[in-house]
Amino acid sequence: MIYENNFKYWIFDLDNTIYDIKLGLFKKISERITNFIVSKYSLDIDEAKKIQKKYYLEYGLTLRGLILEKNLNPEEFLDYVHDVEHPELKKDKYLKSKIEKLQGKKIIFTNATSKHAEKILTILEIRELFDQIIDIKDLDYIPKPDKRSYQKLLECLNVDKEQLKKGIFLEDTVKNLIPAKELGMTTVWIKNSTNKNDFTKNFKSIDYSFNNINEFLDQIKMRGKNGSR
C-alpha cells in the first residue's frame, strides 16, 4: 500500500510516464533523433539507427554519446528533436485532480529539456502543480541512470540523501530506478514493454509497478491522524 503521508518528494519522469506510452508521443521524438543523425552525419537510416541504439545503451542517452564521441553541440540536437507537435495530448482533468491532492514537493526529473517538459505539462494543464523541473541541462548533459545525475538531483532540490528517503520516483525505464533505489527512494515503474531486457535485468529495483500514472495515483491512500486508513 502506498500512503501519501510517507512522502515529501514526488519525483516524476516525463516522457512515457506523465502521459500514457500508448499515445506514441516519444516514438516521434525517437524518429527525429534518427533523422538528425542521418542529416548531420550523412548516413543512411539503418546506420543512424545503429548509432542511436549504441549510444543509448552505452551512455543512457543518444545525445550523451554524440557529445562524447562526436563533440556535438547539444543545443543543436535538442532544438531539433523536440520540435514536434502533440495533437494526441489533451488536458487531463482527472490527472490534475489527483496530482493536486498530493502533499509535498512535486518535481519533474527528465533527460529531456525543460522547454519540452513545459510544453507537455501545459497541454495537460498541470504545469502549475509542479514545483520544479530538473532537465538534462541541469544535469550537465549527464543523463539518468548515471549516478552523477542523481547527485545533481540532490543539489537541485537542496536536500541530502537522508531527506530523499522521503522521496518516491516514477519512471518507465527500469534501469533509471536503480540509483534512486540505492539512495533509499521508493521506486515505481510505469510499465513499458519496449525494452524487455531492461526489465529482466533490473526488476529488483522496482518497489511498485503500474500500467500508467493514473493507476498509480488511484492506489495512493491517506493515513488518518492515528495512523489508520
Query: Which pLDDT value is given to residue 158?
Result: 98
Residue 216 placed within a domain? yes
Cut 0.75: pTM above it? yes
Query: Which pLDDT value is given to residue 223?
Result: 58
Residue 227 placed within a domain? no
Residue 229 placed within a domain? no
Query: Which pLDDT value is given to residue 94?
Result: 96
The total number of structural domains that make up the chain? 2
Cα-Cα-Cα-Cα torsion 150, 79, 130, 154, nearest 10 degrees, comes to: 20
CA distance 203 to 226: 34
Query: Which pLDDT value is given to residue 100?
Result: 95
Bridge-based pairing of strands 2-3 and 186-190 is unpaired
Query: Which pLDDT value is given to residue 44?
Result: 98
Residue 97 and residue 59 in one domain: no
Residue 168 and residue 72 in one domain: no
Q: For residue 150, give its domain range.
A: 2-21+88-221
Query: Which pLDDT value is given to residue 229?
Result: 39
Cis status of the peptide bond prior to 179, with omega within 30 of 0:
no
User: What's the chain's average pLDDT?
Assistant: 94
Query: Which pLDDT value is given to residue 197?
Result: 83
- pLDDT tens-digit readout, 160-208: 999 999 999 999 999 999 999 999 999 999 999 887 888 889 999 999 9
Specify the DSSP class assigned to residue 210.
E
Residue 50 and residue 73 in one domain: yes
CA distance 110 to 129: 16
- pLDDT tens-digit readout, 89-135: 999 999 999 999 999 999 999 999 999 999 999 999 999 999 999 99
38, 56, 81: which is the final residue of a domain?
81
Cα-Cα-Cα-Cα torsion 170, 172, 176, 182, nearest 10 degrees, comes to: 40
Residue 224 has pLDDT above 50, yes or no: no
CA distance 141 to 218: 34
Neighbours of 217 (CB within 10 A): 18
Query: Which pLDDT value is given to residue 227?
Result: 41
Burial class (CB in 10 A: 0-12, 13-18, 19+), 89: middle
- Residue 168: give its domain's CATH number: 3.40.50.1000
